[in-house]
Amino acid sequence: MIAGFGPRWLDNLLLLLFDTVRAFPTIVLALATVALTGPSLGLVLAIIIITSIPQYARVTRTATLSLRNTDFILAERSLGASTARMLVHHVLPNVVGPLLILAAMDVPVVVTVEAGLSFLGLGVLPPTASWGTILNEGYLVIRDTPWMVVAGGVPLILTTLGFTFLGEALRDVFDPRMGKGR
């Protein structure tokens, strides 16, 4: 919100930072970092969070820029409201909806990245449960017991589909123009 509401130089600086972080592919960064430091759940989460922040920041910035010159913000400014008050009380409630939609749509990505790294043995270490570890163990004995791959894959598929549908439903709630009738 600061990038969208603040001075132009700060906006450009933050965009450069966001673009720099976003230029690194999540999987490649995760593989390189895990190869250097060793696998752990905390490391996988940190990599996913660091590479996801620019996307959320850009959505927040765009929503803030669209609200910056609206009548209710200009009225608050003319009444002498501080920038912090305008951001917290007027801009933030209008930005939360798109962020919730984005978060719901990102859950399947995060789950599959973690499962993929764990499948390769670079994510969550046993005995911590992970769908990727379950799939890996099932893959090793797929000729004898194929149900292990199915038992690990079906919940992964259902979870990603469920959160995708949740994101679509949230989009319909927060943006009625995209919902019914179109």
Q: What is the pLDDT of residue 162?
A: 93
Of 1.20.190.20, 1.10.3720.10, 3.30.70.260, 1.20.810.10, the CATH number of 2-178 is 1.10.3720.10
Q: 152-172: b or e for each residue (b if 16 or more CB lie within 10 Å)?
A: beeebeebbeebeebbeebbe
Residue range 137-182, pLDDT digits in tens: 888 888 888 888 888 889 999 999 999 999 888 888 887 666 554 4
Average pLDDT rounded to a whole number, residues 5-33: 87
Interatomic CA distance for residues 112 and 135, integer angstroms: 12
Q: What is the pLDDT of residue 176?
A: 64
**Lowest-pLDDT range of 51-55, 57-61, 147-151, 162-166:** 147-151
pLDDT > 70: percent of the chain: 96
Average pLDDT rounded to a whole number, residues 71-100: 87
Q: What is the pLDDT of residue 178?
A: 61
Q: What is the pLDDT of residue 124?
A: 81
pTM, to two decimals = 0.77
